[in-house]
Structure 1
Amino acid sequence: MWAAIAISALAMTVIVAVRYLLSSGLFAYATSRVRPGLYDRLGPQIRSEIGWSLASAAIYGVPAGIVAWGWQARGWTLIYTDIAAYPPWYAPLSVLLCLLAHDCWFYWTHRLMHRPSWFRVAHAVHHASRPPTAWTAMSFHPIEALTGAVVIPALVFLIPIHVAMLGLVLAIMTVMGVTNHMGWEMFPRRLVHSRLGDWLITASHHERHHEEYQCNYGLYFRIWDRICGTDRGLSVKLDRRVAA
């Protein structure tokens, strides 16, 4: 049993690391084509980001591997494979519920990480990326990585979700984590400045967090920032670069 758990944890660690390298590498390449020169002179910072991120991959991979083993070998979790087990409308709802729950967890743990003692010990690693790049998304101190690593494994015990919808949640988490740190806005102005855009977090919104620190703490949605009065809008610098 222990060998199987260890193999599952190792496999998930490799998957998380490869997912990070491929997704961040793809958007870093896109940046070099769309915004040539943006990451010039950031080589040492990017190497540091990759190092911290690969360490984070192990921290994310272990609980994910344990839960994956438990799901397959012991029937743990509420992950299901029969799409007919729930009404058709439930599949997208389960994705939204997971994103809302993750967003809430992230907002409050992120604010905790900005308390002076936590910031000095852990979160300063992430904010050492000045400016953030496509490689920054998983550049965390192990303490901060642990707060992010437990949330999705915990949610699959609380929210029934089809395995394909869980894959979609992980894809959204990966893409938004990378694109929100790229240093330029990939989404068009008509979306960023739309009614929908007013509730979504994109690079233009998250960049302002990296500029000012004490605002814009959310991950996917601006709900908690709006409720708690920590939403300061978009980065002026990035907003000038938004596509028409």
Structure 2
Amino acid sequence: MSDSLISAILAAALSAIAMTVIVGGRYVITSGLFAWITSRVRPGLYHGMGPQIGRELRWSLLSAAIYGIPAGIVAWGWQQRGWTRIYTDVDAYPLWWLPASLLVYLFLHDTWFYWTHRWMHRPKVFAAAHAVHHASRPPTAWAAMSFHPLEALTGAIVVPALVFLVPIHVAVLGAVLLVMTIMGITNHMGWEMFPRWLVHSPLGAWLITASHHQRHHEQYKCNYGLYFRFWDHLCATDRGLSAP
């Protein structure tokens, strides 16, 4: 094995480790922040849930590695080999592509999530993997990444795969990750933080918030989406809102 290949492998491994630390740290900080907000807005909501939160933390930190390793390798490939379609020059594509690419990424991620999520509710797959996530009854702000490794893997490959296929500015990619993080947490907090006028508006009928996702955790066979209710409406799996 040549020295250059060894150096490349070490660099990719270090990038994977660094990204795992970043993903884990992001999870602890953001979930911790929203758990703190919950303690102020809904005091006592998580009372007596210490053992469950402990399980959510352990599964989530394992998921952080599963998300961080491919992300780190892709980040190394982008910076050192130019493998991806991530770009830094705003003028490389028309300006309208900046917001459009954000919506494209969110829609494609949402589509992948909807169909893999429905697959995970097949009895054998549910028992083998997805039951870990549904063991959070009710979910808390710490449950957003509480996945069995198989489920974490299905989620971890989406964005790293898309950056090889769909051009995206690095800042917009950061926005995608921000939306993914915030919605993943807020949808599991057990209470609705978005204003009622939005949740019950015509726009809200197409967006997923805690009121919508809470019903999934209550009834299981409905409300499978991540960001949008498009696929739930189209496939007649939308069962409306709960009242968290």
Residue by residue, what CA displacement relative to the aligned partner does 1:33-70 show, whole Å, maximum 9, x if unpaired? 00000000000000100000000000000110110010
Structure 1 equivalent of residue 3 of structure 2? none
- Distance across 2 between alignment mates of 1:155 and 1:15: 20
- Distance across 1 between alignment mates of 2:33 and 2:96: 33
- Measured after TM superposition, the shift of residue 86 of structure 1 is 1.2
Q: Are 2:19 and 1:12 equivalent residues in the alignment?
A: yes
Q: Equivalent residue of 2:223, what SS? A: coil
Summarize the alignment of residues 30-49 of structure 1 with structure 2, pairs less than 5 Å apart.
30-49=37-56
- Distance across 1 between alignment mates of 2:72 and 2:139: 29
- Distance across 2 between alignment mates of 1:12 and 1:94: 23
- Distance across 2 between alignment mates of 1:147 and 1:126: 14
Aligned equivalent of 1:213, options 216, 220, 230:
220
- Distance across 1 between alignment mates of 2:47 and 2:91: 51
User: Aligned residues: percent identity?
Assistant: 73
Report the TM-score when normalising by structure 1: 0.97
Structure 2 equivalent of residue 242 of structure 1? none
Structure 2 equivalent of residue 144 of structure 1? 151
Structure 2 equivalent of residue 75 of structure 1? 82
- Distance across 2 between alignment mates of 1:77 and 1:15: 20
Q: Are 2:224 and 1:188 equivalent residues in the alignment?
A: no
Aligned equivalent of 2:241, options 218, 226, 234:
234
Q: Are 2:160 and 1:153 equivalent residues in the alignment?
A: yes
Summarize the alignment of residues 81-120 of structure 1 with structure 2, pairs less than 5 Å apart.
81-120=88-127
- Measured after TM superposition, the shift of residue 158 of structure 1 is 1.1
Structure 2 equivalent of residue 59 of structure 1? 66
- Measured after TM superposition, the shift of residue 88 of structure 1 is 1.3
Q: Are 2:229 and 1:222 equivalent residues in the alignment?
A: yes
- Measured after TM superposition, the shift of residue 84 of structure 1 is 1.1
- Distance across 2 between alignment mates of 1:71 and 1:27: 32
Q: Equivalent residue of 1:25, what SS? A: helix
Structure 2 runs not aligned, ≥5 long: 1-7
Structure 2 equivalent of residue 27 of structure 1? 34
Report the TM-score when normalising by structure 2: 0.97
- Measured after TM superposition, the shift of residue 3 of structure 1 is 0.4
Residue by residue, what CA displacement relative to the aligned partner does 1:169-193 show, whole Å, maximum 9, x if unpaired? 0000000000000000000110000
Q: Equivalent residue of 1:62, what SS? A: helix
| AA aligned opposite 1:34 | V
- Measured after TM superposition, the shift of residue 124 of structure 1 is 0.3
- Work out the number of aligned pairs and report it: 237
| AA aligned opposite 1:127 | H
